[in-house]
Structure 1
């Protein structure tokens, strides 16, 4: 587990809240804390060897990411996933990532393409090994790259929050399955469009947007099966 691998005391006095937030984020994403679980201040203070101030700073950061709810006089609780959350998140993320891909075309360099290709190779290796977790980690990096290449700070910040919630949804349903080969082929196509100097920007935008919206459909199908169990 993430917390078990963490030293009981944080080493650096600077940025303790950020360090705690990062560790708790991964603990939530990997299912160590479930939806509805309370993050007990006293227990976490003891575990991390920190005071209340950096821990509460970490809680506020988790709240910004959409991972917890802070309820006055009750405490901090890991946010439950609902179908409504998923249905709100994916279409907005799809539209904004499509826009980011479109904008990235105006800024992308040969060095940027080299980075994307390296990530794509790691995704391909994960597909061959049927390593779902590694695949989605690299999938996340691939999307982060072209979002950064958009050079739009507001868009980047907005998508950072939306994509954190999407990643949380995916990790929270550990039995959610997707055809990794099919997903990889879509990302290969996205990469090839970025390489084409004559590509229609709308073609890139549409491909990225459709890819994310299709993921929503698959996720809702799985959620319905999960709710029937």
Structure 2
């Protein structure tokens, strides 16, 4: 199991609770209650909630508290479409510019993905997956693109984690990663770009289906009134 900071552990658990419907759209999150639930101090709770606000999963309202955001599928789909283009561009440029050391790091990240997929460990797979994509961004040789890709990836993190719950998604994700890595390794920019773009776009369809199902079994919380 990959070791993560306390605030990240809390964030991951809260993401799962929101997406599972345990915390419903519009519901207020009580920091004191969360401290008791997770057995930690206020600091990691505050850091986790701030991270979730950046991803759009919660809203922090001054003097009122923190509330679960009601998900909008069209808005999320638009963000995924932009992410797909950024991923494709980064992969295309990386195929032309990646250094040997970074290529070796990409292979190591891919092997980590393989290990966690074989163990059916979705959380650890996600972190190895994030490392894989981060190496592609960092190897593109375009600082502005690198920054934008990392920023949007942080926003979409909870939703990209969610789609790994789709049956057989980890195995297919791993296959897609291999195509991207192989194309980058041989300098095939066109294949790398198309594979990276498609790798994200397929998540839009799977995620949208999951969120529609989620919304059917949850109702906005009365506590938002």
TM above 0.5, yes or no, is yes
Structure 2 unaligned blocks of 5 or more: 218-225
Select which of 186, 191, 209 maps to 1:221. 209
Pair 1:45–1:178, CA change in 2 (3 A): closer
- Partner SS for 2:17: coil
Residue 29 in structure 1 maps to residue 15 in structure 2: yes
Quick check: which one's helix share is greater? 2
Structure 1 unaligned blocks of 5 or more: 1-5, 7-18
Task: Answer with 1 or 2: which has the greater Rg.
Answer: 1
Instruction: Name the structure 2 match of 1:163.
Output: 153
Structure-1 separation of matches of 2:203 and 2:165: 15
CA contact (8 A) 1:31 1:172 kept: no
Structure-2 separation of matches of 1:63 and 1:140: 20
Q: Deviations over 1:182-208 (max 9, x none)?
A: 2211111111111104x2x23211111
Pair 1:28–1:157, CA change in 2 (3 A): farther
Instruction: Name the structure 2 match of 1:80.
Output: 70
How far off its partner does 1:142 sit?
0.8
CA contact (8 A) 2:122 2:165 kept: no
Describe how 1:141-152 pairs up with structure 2 within 5 A.
141-152=131-142
How far off its partner does 1:58 sit?
7.1
CA contact (8 A) 1:97 1:209 kept: yes
Describe how 1:128-143 pairs up with structure 2 within 5 A.
128-143=118-133
How far off its partner does 1:215 sit?
1.5
How far off its partner does 1:172 sit?
5.1
Instruction: Name the structure 1 match of 2:28.
Output: 38
Structure-2 separation of matches of 1:30 and 1:225: 15
Instruction: Name the structure 1 match of 2:41.
Output: 48
Instruction: Name the structure 2 match of 1:69.
Output: 59
Q: Aligned residue pairs: how many?
A: 207
Q: What is the root-mean-square deviation of aligned Cα atoms in Å?
A: 3.2
TM superposition score normalised by structure 1: 0.73
Instruction: Name the structure 2 match of 1:104.
Output: 94
Q: Deviations over 1:42-86 (max 9, x none)?
A: 667895256xxx987875554334343122442222333331232
Most deviating of 169-178 and 77-86: 169-178
Instruction: Name the structure 2 match of 1:15.
Output: none
Instruction: Name the structure 2 match of 1:13.
Output: none
Structure-2 separation of matches of 1:44 and 1:58: 11
CA contact (8 A) 1:29 1:171 kept: no
Most deviating of 110-119 and 29-38: 29-38
TM superposition score normalised by structure 2: 0.74
Describe how 1:8-19 pairs up with structure 2 within 5 A.
none
CA contact (8 A) 1:31 1:171 kept: no
Select which of 96, 108, 118 maps to 2:108. 118
